[in-house]
A and B are shown apart, each in its own frame.
Chain A
Amino acid sequence: MRRTIFPIAALFLLAPFALAAQCDGLPPKADEYSAQALQKTTYLSNYIQIICDNKSSLLKSSGAVDLACKLFLDEDRVVQVSSANRSNISEYKVRDYFKHLQLLGYTRVEIKWVEVGYVSQLRKGVDGNFYGVITIKQKFTGYKNDQPAYEDITEKHIEVVLKQVSVAQAGNSMKCWDILLGDINVEETWQN
């Protein structure tokens, strides 16, 4: 059990180190923010692989759902899924989206990054947070009994939120920027 929990915990525990360099009160520069935002989306993909894998124990899978939800600004963020082959658009709050993925019944999934398309500049919102959007293309393959049962290529538009948080360090309180995920729009562009 310890062995199954460790990789998830390690993944999550590593995330705060990405913030260490940006505790000067200023929002990070575009290249820093994009690198860290892409790192968060990598964590998200890793969690999704655990969530979708029906060999994952219930505990591991539920733990991955909890950790994946913590990547987001809050659980009211939505994942909107549209398809090239279907006219309807599905919309899920993040936890519901992960639960929906859990029910897909794959023995294993692969999420492969194809390309990063665009990283927008950051814009300050009226709440004082900074907002950006990154666009990535990913290939998803779901296996059943080691045979590919489903493949798709999706374009994901991911809102990234930079929120200022207070971090206690050596008795001092420092203002740091945490990078969180906001709403996600998933456009399925190819499906097999």
Chain B
Amino acid sequence: MAKLKFLLPFLAFLVLPAFFLSQPSDDWIKENFVVEVHTVDDFIDRFNGDVNQRVLDKWYQLFQKRDITRKEIIYSLFNLRSTEWSESEVEAFIDQAVDNQCPSFLEFETGNWYATVNCDVLFQGQPCTASLVLQIRQDAATGGSEWVIVSMLNPEIFADLCPDRFPYTNVRRKAFLSPMSHGTNFSALKRVFDEKVNLSDCMDFNPNNSLLNTLAWEVYLGDFQLQHINSIEYHFFQVPNWIFVIRQTAREDFNTGWLISELYPATETDVRNYKEECLNLATTPQ
């Protein structure tokens, strides 16, 4: 941790009340805004060591350090206010990510990461919450990509799963979630839910997935309506032997935006169990 001393000013800034009672100055807004991790794309870029020059310039102004290493950049992607970290685990994780022999980088299109979108919904007129699990899927034919719903948490919402296959899947494809939907906090989801019959176009529709089949039916019949999105998390499995979760930490300081909020060392079995238990994904042993 001593090697990461340069980041101590981050911690100092954390205790500064950002906006006292008066109007924040434009300079403060700019500084804070430039350093913020704005989207998951920004997170991935920074994790891979690709930091925007304006952010580097701002760090230089703040910390008087020009040659910031990838190790230090990854450290800055942790929620530094969390008290749940084991410093040794964080160090081990970062050391593995920046390992000279076999460094780990994050890829947007590989698919081994997921978004969980927690929503307020109305099911048969009753308000409740549900979390949708989405993944980036690439289409080999067009080379384009899209977000697709791959699972849903809270299956207990449905008393029974519908055995009849939803018949309108991909008949005449009309809807899709753009690969940048996450950038606007998946506001497009509401639109595709409102289109009812087309929602299944945005699902990774597997005939054996009776949960998604039931969801498609319930939305089509008007029994399941998405009200609004409460929160979003991203679960990454791209650093071998580790699972981490990023969440948006909105606050007016220099450790803000989409930051690592949970970190777990994980064997292959742990990853499989996590996907089954926390993301409700059916996995097959490798």
* A151 neighbours in B (Cβ, 8 Å): 23
Say yes or no for A7: interface residue by CB 8 A criterion: no
Is B180 touching A123 in the complex (CB atoms < 8 A)?
A: yes
Using Cβ atoms and an 8 Å threshold, which residues of chain B touch A123?
Answer: 108, 145, 178-180
Q: How far is the CB of A126 from the nearest CB of chain B, in Å?
A: 4
- Which residues of chain B are near A125, meaning CB under 8 Å? 144-146, 176, 178-179
User: CA–CA, A72 to B26, complex, Å?
Assistant: 29
Are B184 and A91 neighbours in the complex by a CB distance under 8 Å? no
A135 is an interface residue with CB less than 8 A from chain B: yes
The interface stretch among B4-12, B30-38, B99-107, B265-273 is B30-38
List residues of chain B with CB within 8 A of the CB of A128. Answer: 142, 144
A159 close to B180 (CB less than 8 A)? yes
Look across to chain B and name the residue whose beta carbon is closest to the beta carbon of A112: B26
Whether B42 contacts A120 by the Cβ 8 Å rule is yes
Of A21-29, A39-47, A102-110, A179-187, which stretch is located at the interface?
A179-187
- In Å, the complex CA distance between A139 and B145 comes to 34
**Can you list, as one digit per residue, whether each of B169-189 has a CB less than 8 Å from chain A (1) or not (0)?**
000000010111101110110
CB–CB B176/A118 < 8 A: no
On chain A, the residues within 8 Å of B188 by CB distance are 78, 182-183
Taking the closest CB of chain A, its distance from the CB of B117, in whole angstroms, is 13
- How many residues does chain B have at the interface if contact means C-beta atoms less than 8 Å apart? 37
Q: Check if A100 is an interface residue, CB within 8 A of chain B.
A: no
For B29, give the chain A residue with the smallest CB separation: A114
Are A126 and B176 in contact, with the CB atoms below 8 A?
yes
**In the assembled complex, B139 has its CB within 8 A of some CB on chain A:** yes
CA distance A47 to B218 in the complex (A): 40
A-B contacts, 7 listed (Cβ < 8 Å) = A78-B191, A88-B228, A118-B42, A125-B178, A131-B180, A157-B38, A190-B19
Residue positions of A touching B, CB distance < 8 A: 76, 78, 80, 84, 88-89, 91, 114-115, 117-118, 120-121, 123-129, 131-133, 135, 137, 139, 151, 153, 155, 157-159, 161, 182-185, 187, 189-190, 192
The 4 tightest CB contacts between A and B, nearest first, are A133-B183, A118-B38, A131-B180, A126-B144
